[in-house]
Structure 1
């Protein structure tokens, strides 16, 4: 008798326990779902998605232009054009393009020598490595001995600096990052960066012109690599590849 009464008492208590658990679960489910929704990333349509340029990059000399070879090629083209003009075949410069009173096809100053433009392109691209930092707000390209190239992620041109020494703007041309610099004496430099979809290979095209001249272009290719610890100093060489030596501690 006692056993049956105990069973009758336990069963209703079990029902109350199950009912309480079900009610508690029903109450907590919305809060759990709300927490999960809050943790999900929000797609910001005003922040465009950019290619990933971040990482450490070393020059691939086999796939990069040699400035002397490119200069030789350009000089040959110039000689061929001169020969055509001497034979009476006019190449033409196209119609004059003007904005207001400014004639864009007529340089106001003497154009720099092609050799000087080629040497400047070689000097700008002398570094064999670079490091790129990138987040949702900006991208920063650092090369040894050079001022960093910094640009925002938003669409449209961004003026990074402007002074009596020149001006620089940057922006995005689809998936390519572009820096344009106007310097004194009519010197104009453009850097154009592109990266593969797997972010393992990068290309940098440097174009230099002077007072509206035909630009001298130099294409440099880079491969992503794992940077060594800070205690090592590494340089990229043509004959031996990447050579690292241990830094001397400063006492």
Structure 2
């Protein structure tokens, strides 16, 4: 019997890396504020967010605004700068695309977001709007939505690649990946297959004076092979590969590594 490990974002979080969507959005705001430098216009805009200085603003461009930000003591994060701009509605026109707004609101209220679900909901909104409109605007709306999703995807990859990773694993996690099968995890329909596996590949006897009380007559056995399927853009799973295959990839592709159990 073999074991397949499906690796998602929780795997990165378990290793202490800031890979939540909230971390990504905070990085995005830092990036936006950094882009104020050298911007000689009163408008800062991308497909997700537009910030315009109003006529009441004493600054004539974002470059001047950036020059007046504290750089050392009491330096503000990008998120703090953006929040201050949102609070000054007479001086700044702050506009989020509906798609990006729903993402930010979900993070603020729930602490997480399902971007695919948010995208699907806005696709439905576009389709519903088209049914009640005489103008053929649906293709443009969908096109803009797709552009925003692709823009977010590229930004997310850029953010994840900017993090510093360490090629070392966690012993507890490694023990779970390569540890013996727990008989309680085997479905009833696969008990015969598990018993055959134990006969062919041997069994383990738990150590310790409390083992008999804790485990009783349960039969433990190691998997023959372990397969890691990494759906992240990060290379953290590489630290757990005993044998790295030529197909191993990350940074936009699914990482797959077939590895023999030790």
What TM-score does the superposition give when structure 1 sets the normalisation length?
0.20
Structure possessing the higher relative contact order (Cα contacts under 8 Å, 6 or more residues apart)? 2
Structure having the higher strand fraction is 1
